[in-house]
Amino acid sequence: MDKKQHIVLEILMIRFGLNSNLALPLVQKWLQTHPTSSLDKLRKLLLTGKVSLKNGTLYDVNPKEMNVLTNKMLAENGLFFY
């Protein structure tokens, strides 16, 4: 395993509470579905919250979805922005 892959796996394990046996297939599947992308790109997306984990698959979070989620979280705390 190279250093870049190790870093991405660590981010996944910390962010989503996964072990390496679960994180590695997620990375491999994401790279297969994003053939023009790289581990560096995935690392950046994970660090900026632009990739989420749903039903055992990594998904890109689009900006509109990000705004909806942010507003929902803020509303739960008594704040809401438009």
Does 69 map to a domain? yes
Q: How far apart are CA 5 and CA 72, in angstroms?
A: 33
Q: What crossing angle do the helices spanning 39-47 and 20-33 adopt, rounded to 10°?
A: 110
How do residues 7-54 score in pLDDT, each as one tens digit? 999 999 999 999 989 999 999 999 999 999 999 999 999 998 889 898
75 versus 44: the higher-pLDDT residue is 44
Does 33 map to a domain? yes
pTM: 0.73
Does 71 map to a domain? yes
Instruction: Please state the domain count of the chain.
Output: 1
Residue 65: pLDDT band with limits 50, 70, 90: low
